[in-house]
């Protein structure tokens, strides 16, 4: 799958970002995630990456929130657009293209979401929706926000999400402006649990 209209080459898994939204935004307290993420670092909770540090942007309105900085990726618990959720952004992950790139990003964000849902310090207050996800490509040079990128990226996103959710149709809509990072809103019409989706995506990417 090539990147946008500028022809800068194959779109890799390092380009893909996936965000899961929380079910109950009122239950979220950003700063309580700081000790949780520091504990993850100490315990090396995410097995396939080196966890490095935690950055606190909770004071920024509708900003990047709390960031777990890793060697291969960043995990953001952000509040962009006033919608709290967990975002995965690949950086230096093993190269994959097309559907596989999207599936690997799903696997990473679902793995972290499952950890948050199960973390005893959070008392079960962090639960994630699966009927709607946001998929973006932050690099505006590789993937300008526009119809050319949409036409290139959407088929792989649709195939991956249909396979992962076991549905025949999904809604994929570009929601970014021309000067914003290319972003899709994906609505699936299904609400499997995070654990169920993680099990499925693990099979798809094994």
Residues 137-188: tens digit of each pLDDT:
998 888 899 999 999 999 999 999 999 999 999 999 999 999 999 999 999 9
Q: CB neighbours (10 Å) of residue 7?
A: 9
Q: Rounded to an integer, what distance in angstroms lies between the CA atom of residue 26 and that of residue 125?
A: 10
**Which tokens hold the place of 153?**
């990226």
Of 24-28, 91-95, 159-163, 192-196, the one with minimum mean pLDDT is 91-95
Q: 116 in the Ramachandran plot: left (φ > 0), alpha (ψ -120 to 50) or beta? A: alpha
Return the domain boundaries, the chain: 13-204
95 close to 12: Cβ distance less than 8 angstroms: yes
Q: What is the rounded radius of gyration, in angstroms, for the C-alpha atoms of the chain?
A: 16
Residues 105-133: tens digit of each pLDDT:
999 999 999 999 999 999 999 999 999 99
Q: Supply the pLDDT for residue 48.
A: 85
Q: Count H helices and E strands in the chain, helices first.
A: 4, 8
């Amino acid at each position: 799958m090539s990147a946008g209209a500028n022809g800068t080459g194959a779109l890799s898994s390092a380009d893909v970002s996936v965000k899961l939204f929380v079910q109950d935004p009122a239950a979220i307290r950003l700063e309580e995630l700081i000790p949780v993420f520091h504990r993850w670092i100490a315990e090396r909770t995410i097995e396939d990456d080196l966890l490095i540090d935690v950055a606190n942007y909770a004071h920024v309105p509708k900003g990047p929130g709390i960031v777990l900085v890793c060697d291969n990726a960043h995990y953001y618990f952000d509040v962009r657009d006033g919608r709290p959720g967990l975002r995965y952004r690949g950086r230096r992950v093993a190269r994959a293209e097309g559907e596989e790139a999207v599936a690997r990003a799903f696997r990473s964000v679902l793995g972290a979401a499952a950890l948050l849902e199960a973390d005893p310090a959070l008392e079960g207050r962090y639960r994630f929706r699966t009927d709607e996800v946001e998929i973006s490509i932050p690099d505006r040079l590789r993937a300008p926000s526009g119809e050319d990128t949409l036409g290139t990226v959407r088929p792989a996103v649709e195939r991956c999400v249909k396979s992962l959710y076991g549905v025949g149709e999904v809604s994929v809509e570009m929601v970014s402006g021309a000067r914003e990072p290319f972003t899709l809103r994906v609505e699936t019409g299904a609400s499997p649990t995070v654990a169920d989706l993680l099990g499925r995506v693990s099979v798809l990417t094994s």
